[in-house]
Amino acid sequence: MTESNYGWGLPTAASTFAKEIDFGIYLIHAAMFAIFILWGIFFVYLLIRYRARPGVAAKHEEHGILASLIPDFIVLAFELCLIFLYAIPSWSRIKVETPGAQDSLTVEVTAEQFAWDIHYPGPDGKFGRRDPALVHASNVLGLDPNDPSALDDIVTVNEMHIPLGRPTLMGLTSKDVIHSFFVPDFRIKQDAVPGMRIPVWFEPTKTGKFEIGCAQLCGFGHALMRGDVFVHAPKEFENWLVDQKPALNPTGK
Ligand code: CUA
C-alpha cells in the first residue's frame, strides 16, 4: 500500500512493464558506477605516475589519436547497445504498441489546475460528447446532456478505479496548462497537453491504492495535485462500477 511504497529504493513495481523500466535504471546506474570507479583509478594513477619529481623533466609522448579514443569507443558501443537493444524496443512496447480497446478498460483522463478528472463511459460503453462551454463546477468535464450516450457517463475526481487482470487504456488530455500524469508504482509518466489526446496504457499486477502525482510544474497547486489509483479484483471493480451514479444525474432520480 502507498504508506510503505516510498523509501530509499525504487517504489513497488506494480505494472507489467515496471520491471523492464527498473532494469534500465539499474543498468545505467551500474554502468555509471563502473565508469566512475575506472576513471577514478586511472586519474589517481596518472597523478602518481606523472607527479613532479626533482631531476625529471616533463616530456610529451605521441601514441596516436586512435589509441586515446579506445575508452570512448567502448562507452559509445555500450550506449548504442543501450539505445538499440533496450531503449527503443522498450519504448515501442510501452508507448507505441497500445493494447486493443476491446481487451482493455477504457477511460478518459483530463488534467486541470489542480485535479484529475476521470471519465468512464458508463453501462452503454460510449463516451458522451463533451463541450468546453458546458464546463461548470457541477459538470467538470462539460458533458452534454443532449447526447444520449453522455447520460450514463461516470466522472470521478482524483480517484481512478481499475481492475486487475487487464490493461487500462487512457486518453489523456488537459483543460488548461501542461500537466504530467505520473504513477510511480506503475512506472508510467506522460505529459497531459491541452488540445491533444495522448493514449497511455498500463496493466497493474497488484491490487491496492497507488498514488497519482503531477510531474509537471503547473501552478501554485502543483504539489497538491494528487490522486489515487485503486486497483480492484475484477469482481470488486464491477461492483464499484455499478454503484456509481451518472455524473449528469448524481441523485439517480
Ligand atoms: Cu498539474 Cu503539476
- Residue 179 belongs to some domain of the structure: yes
Which of 151, 150, 153, 159 has its CA nearest to residue 119? Answer: 153
46: pLDDT strictly greater than 70: yes
Cβ-contact 93, 17 below 8 angstroms: yes
For the stretch 197-212, pLDDT in tens is: 999 999 999 999 999 9
pLDDT the model gives residue 1: 44
Is 119 a pocket residue for ligand 1 (Cβ < 6 Å)? no
C-alpha cell read off for 82: 543501450
CA of 228 to the centre of ligand 1 (A): 15
C-alpha cell read off for 181: 500524469
The whole-angstrom separation of Cα 245 and Cα 152 is 8
Q: Are residues 119 and 159 in the same domain?
A: yes
- Residue 239 belongs to some domain of the structure: yes
- For residue 219, the 8-state DSSP code is S
Boundary (domain end) residue, out of 77, 96, 115: 96
CATH of the domain at 125: 2.60.40.420
Q: Quickly tell me which residue has 439517480 as its cell.
A: 252
For 170, the domain range is: 102-243
pLDDT the model gives residue 191: 97
CA of 165 to the centre of ligand 1 (A): 29
pLDDT the model gives residue 2: 45
pLDDT the model gives residue 227: 96
Is 126 a pocket residue for ligand 1 (Cβ < 6 Å)? no
Residue nearest to atom 1 of ligand 1 (CA): 179
The mean pLDDT value of the chain amounts to 91
For the stretch 63-110, pLDDT in tens is: 778 888 888 899 899 999 999 999 999 999 998 888 888 889 999 999
Which of 234, 220, 110, 118 has its CA nearest to residue 173? Answer: 110
Mean pLDDT of 171-196: 96
List Cα–Cα distances, 232 to 16, 165, 238, in angstroms.
16, 9, 9
The whole-angstrom separation of Cα 26 and Cα 154 is 40
Indicate the range of 205-209, 217-221, 240-244 predicted with least confidence.
Answer: 240-244
Q: Which atom of ligand 1 is nearest to the CA of 111?
A: 1
Q: Are residues 138 and 219 in the same domain?
A: yes
The percentage of the chain sitting over the pLDDT mark of 70, rounded to a whole number, equals 97
pLDDT the model gives residue 234: 95
C-alpha cell read off for 34: 563502473
Q: Are residues 231 and 109 in the same domain?
A: yes
CA of 180 to the centre of ligand 1 (A): 6
pTM of the model: 0.85
What total of structural domains would you count in the chain? 2
- Residue 251 belongs to some domain of the structure: no
Q: Are residues 203 and 232 in the same domain?
A: yes
Cβ-contact 124, 131 below 8 angstroms: no
